Amino acid sequence: MAVGVFDSGLGGLTVLDAVTRRLPDVPFVYFGDNAHAPYGVRDADDVYRLTTQAVSRLWDEGCDLVILACNTASAAALRRMQESWIPRDKRVLGVFVPLIEALTERNWGDNSPPREVAVKNVALFATPSTVASRAFQRELAFRAIGVDVEAQACGGVVDAIEDGDFILAEALVRSHVDALTRKMPAPDAAILGCTHYPLMQDTFQAALGPDVKVFSQASIVAESLADYLTRHPEMIGSGTVSKFLTTGNPARVSSRATQFLKQQITFESA
């Protein structure tokens, strides 16, 4: 009865930590494509190819439902996968929609026409590929009108976090926030559109100021997944063992992951 969680690297561990706390009885199989990280600088076809390979591997582990805990994969590959690749008995869900539903205060499955919402000016911080895809703006337009989105491609932040260089990551975050606020001086809300970024949430908040509400994905995705499995219990797959898989060096990835979550994490080769 396992559920798969996929990310290009370690960022998805923030989502995994939240969903395992929310659903402690569900086994989760985490797949990190560390050998090919980061995805944020790859083109859409490359992201699609790597993402479908990873999802297929998680299906082999008995995960009929896979969460793309990777905004780049959700933005660049998910729609194409849903339209032409995913079989009827499998599901692959992204991380954008739960975040947008929280931002616009719409319930899961609310398919009513888009309407005006409380927020008017939204700052989006994401990888270059996610920003280029405009997937966030597309999904937001299905649910809200009258919202101005200013996107900032945060080059270098994922690499710094994956390397454990949080001093550099903090400096880059402050630089990217400064660049965005020169274009949008007074955002109402900010979206951290990468699952690595919750580790830098305090830095984003400090740079943006206390009046900007910062939306981070981990807890939001966890609640959405719990709701989804309540409504679709048949999508909990046949897998029974929690594990961590990586395309990278298991010892090195395990060490980084242990530092990342501040608990012992042991990866094995995918």
Instruction: Express each pLDDT in 98-115 by its tens digit.
Output: 888 888 888 766 778 899
Q: How far is Cα 165 from Cα 91, in angstroms, rounded to an integer? A: 35
Mean pLDDT of the 177-188 span: 97
Q: List the catalytic residue out of 65, 67, 68, 70.
A: 70
C-alpha to C-alpha distance for 24 and 260, rounded to whole angstroms = 20
What's the CA gap between 67 and 218, in Å, rounded? Answer: 12
pLDDT tens for 185-194 read 999 999 999 9
Burial class (CB in 10 A: 0-12, 13-18, 19+), 26: middle
Nearest to 203 by CA among 165, 233, 177: 177
- For 189-219, give the secondary structure using H, E and C: EEEEECCCHHHHHHHHHHHHCCCCEEECHHH
- pLDDT of 45 over the 90 cut: yes
Give the domains, in start order, of the chain with CATH numbers.
Answer: 3-94+218-269 (3.40.50.1860), 97-217 (3.40.50.1860)
**Alpha carbon distance 231, 102 (integer Å):** 19
What are the tokens at 112? 């009513």
The overall average pLDDT reported for the chain is 92
What pLDDT sits at residue 49?
97
217 pLDDT tier (thresholds 50, 70, 90): confident
20-29, 204-213, 257-266: which has the minimum mean pLDDT?
A: 257-266
Q: How many CB atoms lie within 10 A of CB 32?
A: 30
Q: Which amino acid is at 179?
A: A
C-alpha span between 157 and 38 (Å, rounded) = 10
Spatial contact of 51 and 73, defined as CB atoms under 8 Å apart: yes
User: Is 194 designated active site?
Assistant: yes
Q: Determine if the peptide bond prior to 185 is cis (ω within 30°).
A: no
* Cα distance between residue 119 and residue 140, in whole Å: 12
Token couple for 121: 């000016």
Catalytic residue among 54, 55, 194, 265: 194
Are 108 and 101 in contact by the 8 Å Cβ rule? The answer is yes
Please measure the distance between the N-terminal and C-terminal CA atoms of the chain and give it in whole angstroms: 19
Read off the DSSP letter of residue 42: S
> Which of 23-32, 155-164, 234-243, 252-261 has the least mean pLDDT?
234-243
